[in-house]
Amino acid sequence: MNWGMKNRISRIIKPKSGHCVMLAVDHGYFQGPTTGLSNLGRTVEPLLPYADALMITRGAIRNWIDPAVDIPIILRVSGGQSVLKELSNEIITTCIDDAIRINATAITCSVYVGGEFEKETIQNLSKLVDDGEEYGIPVLAVTAVGKDMVRDARYLALASRICVEIGAHIVKTYYTEDFGKVVEACRNVPVVIAGGKKLPEMDALKMAFNAVSDGAVGVDMGRNIFQSDSPVGMIRAVRAIVHENKTVDEAYAIYNQTKS
C-alpha cells in the first residue's frame, strides 16, 4: 500500500484508537429526501465535530457543505437507481477526476452479492479499486442487501469477502449474530457496520458495542444518528463506545445527558 493510501486511511480510521465513527448522509442518492436529511446541511453541521468522516454524494457536498469544513470525505460515487426500481442496478455516477477535485479521502460504492445485477456492481467496485490504486485513494465497499437477502453471518461473510478479494480497502456491512465470522472473512481488511433502519437508541448503542466487541473498527451510521431525538447525543454516545471503550449504559447516559 502506498504512502498516500495509508495516509488517507489513517485520516479516517484514527491511529490512536484504531477505530472510526463515519457519519453516513448519502441516502438521498436512491431515497430522495430521506427523513432527517431534507435540510442536509443543517442536520449535518452540529454533528461534524463528533464524526471522523462524512459519507456523502457530490451533489450534497457541493450544495450544502461548507468547503472550509475540516473532515475527511467518503464520496458516494455509485447510483443510477431508486427505491422505485431494482436496487442493484447501479452505475458509477462520479468519475475519479471529480472525486479528486472534491478532495475525497475515500470513494465508495455498493455491491449487491446475489442481486440481479451482481456482476455489474462487482465491476463497479473493480473499476473504483483500479482508479483508487492509481491515485492512492482508498475504496470503501458497501455490502448492500436487496429486498430478498437474508442478513445472516454466512451471507454477509460471503459478500464482504468478495469485496475484499476484488480489492476494497474498507468493508461496510450489517451487524448480525456471529458477526465475528464476517470480520474473520475479511482478515486484515477493516470492517465497519451500517446502522440500518432507526432503532430505539439503546438498541442502536448495543449494536455498535457488539460490533466493535466482535472486531469491527467502528460504524458508518446514518439514520440511527440523524433520526434520533438527539442526534448530537447519539453520535457522542456512539463515539464513546467506538473510541473510549465505554459500556452501553455509560454511552446511553451520555445520550440522555446531551438530550436534556
Q: Cell for 152?
A: 445472516
Angle between helices 179-186 and 153-166 (to 10 degrees): 20
Q: Which is nearer to ligand R5P, 100 or 199 (CB)?
A: 199
DSSP one-letter string for 179-238: HHHHHHHHTTS-EEEE--S---HHHHHHHHHHHHHTT--EEEE-HHHHTSS-HHHHHHHH
Taking every pair of Cα atoms in the chain, the longest distance, rounded to a whole number of angstroms, is: 49
Q: Are strands 91-92 and 78-79 parallel, antiparallel or unpaired?
A: antiparallel
Which positions are catalytic? 172
Q: Which is nearer to ligand R5P, 132 or 222 (CB)?
A: 222
Shortest CB 203 distance to ligand R5P, Å: 13
- Alpha-carbon gap, residue 53 to 56, rounded angstroms: 10
Q: Which is nearer to ligand R5P, 235 or 240 (CB)?
A: 235
The three-point CA angle 52-168-24 to 5° equals 35
Q: Is there a contact between 78 and 109 (Cβ–Cβ < 8 Å)?
A: yes
Contacts to ligand R5P by CB under 6 A: 24, 26-27, 55, 110, 142, 144, 194-196, 220-224
- Alpha-carbon gap, residue 8 to 139, rounded angstroms: 10
Shortest CB 250 distance to ligand R5P, Å: 22
- Alpha-carbon gap, residue 110 to 87, rounded angstroms: 10
- Alpha-carbon gap, residue 159 to 48, rounded angstroms: 30
Count of CB atoms within 10 A of residue 146's CB? 15
Shortest CB 198 distance to ligand R5P, Å: 8
Q: Which is nearer to ligand R5P, 53 or 194 (CB)?
A: 194
Q: Which is nearer to ligand R5P, 172 or 246 (CB)?
A: 172
Shortest CB 224 distance to ligand R5P, Å: 6
Shortest CB 34 distance to ligand R5P, Å: 8
